[in-house]
Copies of this chain bind each other. A is one copy, B any other.
């Protein structure tokens, strides 16, 4: 890609920091400026070579930038985009990294107004158990899927720039409508998180919780790993994607009721058939996935 002059990263945590490191390694930009509400995170980011320069605010970071990456929680997107909009050049491109997209697209329309066509909603499918700039890594997005959800109003050159930047640091970019994105991730990500939180929450509330956890093993460990995720982030995602998530919870409840009924009736063949379908789908996915991330 043509080297950019200035990239602004708003929020230098795990995702923003990793984007900056990847962009630096791929020589995406001559200079990377960072902004964060936590001054210590910014100092660490400079010390770790994640950013070149500290900006005191999103608008200061956005001044003169070719590309502004907002790597902040979705609940902070309103104020951040408003501030970015005060100073960004007309030709600048803005993107985000949030896990829900319909609401972000709406916030961008409200806050960026006539510049909303320069905003490309984005969602890199990568993460770690840990957070913060100290966990950032240049290769976090290597081979990771990145979903962009432009609308028909989004400027094509803005989409191209964001796509090219992600590809430069190793991402595999796919375009989806925001509603399709939110529906898909409600099913394959948001629902499993709620299901895992619900299981651990149920067990932890019992009088014999200590005994129960004492016998939990490897299957439980993997099934509930995502229940150790950030409650703030998953509270937000659950509410931001409420309608799609509720629909998924209801569909899931119906399927679980089918399993319950088969167990209650002692229907071995019926149970085995559903379990076999699940196993073969899960195995096929695991195999495809192993190939696709090679």
Q: Are B238's CB and A223's CB within 8 A? A: no
Query: Which one, B199, B201, B272, contacts A192 given CB within 8 A?
Result: B199
Residues A275 and B234 in contact, CB atoms below 8 Å apart: yes
- Work out how many copies of this chain go into the complex: 2
Q: Does A86 contact B (CB under 8 A)?
A: no
**Distance A52 CA – B255 CA, assembled complex (angstroms):** 48
Q: Which of A10-18, A27-35, A105-113, A277-285 contacts B (4 or more CB under 8 A)?
A: A277-285
CB distance from A133 to the nearest CB of B (A): 21
Kindly supply a per-residue 1/0 record for chain A positions 122-159, scoring 1 wherever the CB is within 8 Å of any chain B CB and 0 otherwise: 00011100000000000000000101000000000000
Interface residues of A in 214-264 (CB under 8 A from B): 215-232, 234-236, 238-239, 242, 245-246, 249-253, 255-256, 258-260, 263-264
Q: Indicate whether A177 reaches chain B with its CB closer than 8 angstroms.
A: no
For A187-203 the 0/1 string (1 means CB < 8 A from B) is 11101111111111111
Residue A48 lies at the interface, judged by CB distance under 8 Å to chain B:
no
Q: Does residue A209 face the partner (Cβ distance < 8 Å to B)?
A: yes
Residues of B within 8 A of A266 (CB): 239, 242
Contact residue among B205, B221, B226, B252 (Cβ-Cβ distance under 8 Å from A199): B252
Residues of chain A in range 176-191 having any CB-CB distance to chain B below 8 Å: 184-185, 187-189, 191
Most chain-B Cβ atoms within 10 A of its Cβ — which of A125, A202, A260, A277? A202
A side interface size, CB within 8 A: 84
Q: Is A38's beta carbon under 8 Å from chain B?
A: no
Asked whether A286 is an interface residue with its Cβ less than 8 Å from the other chain, the reply is yes
A212: Cβ under 8 A from any B Cβ: yes
Chain B residues contacting A223 (CB-CB under 8 Å) are 192, 195-196, 222-223, 225-226
Please indicate the chain B residues that have their CB under 8 angstroms from the CB of A259 in the complex: 194, 197-198, 201, 249
Q: CB distance A189 to B219 under 8 Å?
A: yes
A197-B255 Cα distance, complex, nearest whole Å: 10
Cα A15 to Cα B274 in complex, Å, equals: 26
CA distance A274 to B271 in the complex (A): 32
Of all A-B residue pairs in the complex, the 10 with the closest CB atoms, nearest first, are A204-B281, A231-B275, A200-B278, A202-B255, A188-B216, A201-B278, A222-B222, A235-B272, A192-B223, A231-B276
A198-B278, A222-B222 given; 20 more Cβ-contact pairs under 8 Å: A145-B215, A185-B215, A188-B212, A188-B213, A188-B216, A192-B199, A193-B219, A195-B195, A196-B278, A197-B274, A197-B275, A216-B285, A221-B289, A222-B225, A223-B226, A225-B282, A235-B271, A235-B275, A246-B260, A246-B264
